[in-house]
Each structure stands twice: as C-alpha cells, then as structure tokens.
C-alpha cells in the first residue's frame, strides 16, 4: 500500500526565525505514521534541512531550473537543492505556471533533472475555474499529466498533486465527488502509461484550501494519498491537526 504523505508548501512566506515551526512540528510528531514533507523557500532550505536531519521530516524546495548548471542568474539547480539536504521539489505549481509562464514541457525537463539529482518531484496539476465550468477538467488534467511527467518516473521519485487553481488560497474546495473523479482519473492514466506497478505506487495528493476543518473528509476519498497544504502548513499547530487526520485515515 502507498504510504500517506502530508506535504506543506510555505510558498514565499517565512524568515529564518520561523524555522522554529519545524522544531514544534517535530516535537508534536516524533514518530509519524505518515510521511511528512515541508517545502521551504530556497534560502531556508539549508537551515531547514539541518533542523530536520535525523527526524521523520523531509525538506523540499518549490522549484528548480531545468538545466544542470550554467549562466542562469537567480536560478537554482536540482543538484543545488539536493546539496542542501532537501530530498524533494515541487514543480509546475500553478503559481509558477502562471507568474513564470512555465509550460508542461518545461516542467517535464525540470522533473527529469530533479529525478537525476535524486530528488522526488512533486508535480502539480489543476484546472482553472473557466476550464472547470467548460466541463473539460479531465482533458486539462490529461494534457498536463502526460506532458509534465517524464518517462523515468517511479513510485519513489514522483508524487502528483491535484490542485484546482480556483481552490488555492480561496477557501473553496471541490466536492468530494469532484476530487475523487480527478484522482481516479490520474491513477488510471498513470497505470496505463507506466504499468500497474509504478501506476499504483505513485502518491496522488490533493491541494487547495486544505484545512484542519475539511481535511478528514477529503482523506476518505479514493486515491487521495495525502495533501499538499499551503496556508495551513505555516503554523505547526495547524499542520499538526491535518497530519493527525491523515494518520487517522490510514
Ligand atoms: P492553500 O492550502 O493555501 O490553498 O494552498 C494550496 C497550495 O497551493 C499548495 O501548494
């Protein structure tokens, strides 16, 4: 069975002093029954990874460049991320697809680099409200999934996060039926492309306004293997309640 995963995404939030939240989280969850991942701003990776070392918490980045090294001012490579002690990286988040015009083709190149550097790529997919209302959510997800995921994906180096754009930071969430429809669809597509072994092993997270109040019912939905949490991952006390709910769903 797939091990559940509670992942946090701090986005562009947090200063060094906020890394005490990691200590608080570790104190609350010394031996978690699920995998824990916290994706930090790049300047906090080194210190965050040092704090998490030896504990059941993995640190991740929120992006990396698609080339291994060179003249790319302001960017960081996958091997630089790995060198900090981080072991995962979010790729293709809708905020990057939008604000940095990242295409699924670029996301696939980044994911390949990340996997070559030994990182787990957490690849984000999701439809806009217009796309949802035009009834072509599954077409959008299908296109993003096939173009963003590289051929060398495995159950260890790939996690998929379904994050409907209209649910991110809005307090809105899809119905449980809508979440289940998309997660089942992603599972079927992964199995068809990679075979049942890899297709069954990849974790599929739900993201978009996951809170302590709504997470327990979301975790009951088929093929929801955990959550990618934004705002509610910033404070250990909030994130801890979500972790507790995920553990209770196992
Ligand atoms: P919120 O949980 O703040 O809606 O953010 C979701 C998200 O984008 C996680 O990557």
Averaged pLDDT, 80-86 = 98
Cβ–Cβ < 8 Å for 76, 46:
no
Task: Return the domain boundaries, the chain.
Answer: 5-248
d(CA 159, CA 204) in angstroms, rounded, equals 6
d(CA 6, CA 112) in angstroms, rounded, equals 23
pLDDT band at 68 (very low <50, low <70, confident <90, very high): very high
Q: Which of 106, 173, 155, 180 shows the shortest CA–CA distance to 5?
A: 155
Q: Tell me which of 61, 89, 125, 230 to substitute to probe ligand 1's pocket, judged by most ligand atoms within 8 Å of the beta carbon.
A: 230
pLDDT band at 177 (very low <50, low <70, confident <90, very high): very high
Residues near 6 by beta carbon (within 8 Å), at least 6 away in sequence: 32, 34, 35, 36, 37, 226, 227, 229, 239, 242, 243, 246
Strand partners, 125: 162
Averaged pLDDT, 170-198 = 97
Sign of CA dihedral 148, 40, 206, 208: negative
d(CA 9, CA 29) in angstroms, rounded, equals 18
- Nearest residue (by CA) to ligand 1, atom 9, is 230
Q: Which of 224, 219, 209 shows the shortest CA–CA distance to 244?
A: 219
Active site residue 163: yes
208 lines ligand 1 (CB under 6 A): yes
209 lines ligand 1 (CB under 6 A): yes
pLDDT band at 1 (very low <50, low <70, confident <90, very high): confident
Cβ–Cβ < 8 Å for 89, 78:
yes
* CATH code of the domain made up of 5-248: 3.20.20.70
Q: In sequence order, what E strands does 29-97 have?
A: 35-39, 58-61, 88-91
d(CA 228, CA 90) in angstroms, rounded, equals 10
Percentages helix, strand, coil for the chain (3-state, rounded to 5) are 45, 15, 40
pLDDT band at 159 (very low <50, low <70, confident <90, very high): very high
| pLDDT 10s digits, 49-66 | 999 999 999 999 999 999
Atom of ligand 1 nearest to the CA of 210: 2
User: How far is ligand 1, taken at its centre, from the CA of residue 190, in Å?
Assistant: 23
User: How far is ligand 1, taken at its centre, from the CA of residue 6, in Å?
Assistant: 12
163 lines ligand 1 (CB under 6 A): yes
Question: Which listed residue (29, 65, 66, 93) is catalytic?
Answer: 93
Burial 67-87 (b: 16+ CB within 10 A, else e): eeeeeeeeebbbbbbbebbbb
Atom of ligand 1 nearest to the CA of 207: 6
| pLDDT 10s digits, 19-49 | 999 999 999 999 999 999 999 999 999 999 9
Q: Which of 238, 126, 116, 246 shows the shortest CA–CA distance to 182?
A: 126
Phi-psi region of 85 (alpha: psi -120 to 50; beta: other; left: phi over 0): left
196 lines ligand 1 (CB under 6 A): no
Percent above pLDDT 90 for the chain: 99
Give the chain's mean pLDDT: 98
Averaged pLDDT, 97-111 = 98
89 lines ligand 1 (CB under 6 A): no
9 lines ligand 1 (CB under 6 A): yes
Q: Which of 99, 109, 98 shows the shortest CA–CA distance to 66?
A: 109
């Amino acid at each position: 069975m797939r091990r559940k995963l509670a992942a946090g995404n701090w986005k562009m939030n947090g200063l060094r002093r906020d890394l005490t939240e990691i200590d608080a989280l570790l104190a609350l969850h010394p031996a978690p029954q699920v995998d824990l991942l916290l994706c930090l701003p790049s300047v906090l990776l080194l210190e965050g990874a040092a704090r998490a070392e030896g504990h059941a918490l993995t640190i991740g980045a929120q992006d990396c460049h698609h080339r291994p090294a060179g003249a790319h001012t302001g960017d960081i490579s996958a091997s630089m991320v790995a060198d900090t002690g981080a072991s995962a990286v979010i790729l293709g988040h809708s905020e990057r697809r939008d604000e940095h015009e990242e295409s699924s083709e670029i996301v696939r190149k980044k994911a390949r680099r990340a996997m070559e550097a030994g990182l787990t790529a957490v690849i984000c997919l999701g439809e806009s409200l217009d796309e949802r209302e035009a009834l072509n959510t599954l077409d959008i997800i299908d296109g993003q999934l096939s173009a963003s995921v590289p051929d060398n994906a495995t159950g260890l180096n790939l996690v998929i996060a379904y994050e409907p754009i209209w649910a991110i930071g809005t307090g809105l969430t899809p119905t449980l039926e809508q979440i289940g429809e998309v997660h089942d669809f992603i599972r079927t597509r992964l199995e068809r492309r990679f075979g049942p072994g890899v297709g069954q092993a990849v974790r599929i997270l739900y993201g978009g306004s996951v809170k302590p109040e709504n997470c327990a019912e979301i975790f009951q939905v088929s093929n929801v293997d955990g959550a990618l949490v934004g705002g509610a991952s910033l404070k250990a006390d909030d994130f801890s309640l979500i972790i507790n709910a995920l553990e209770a769903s196992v």
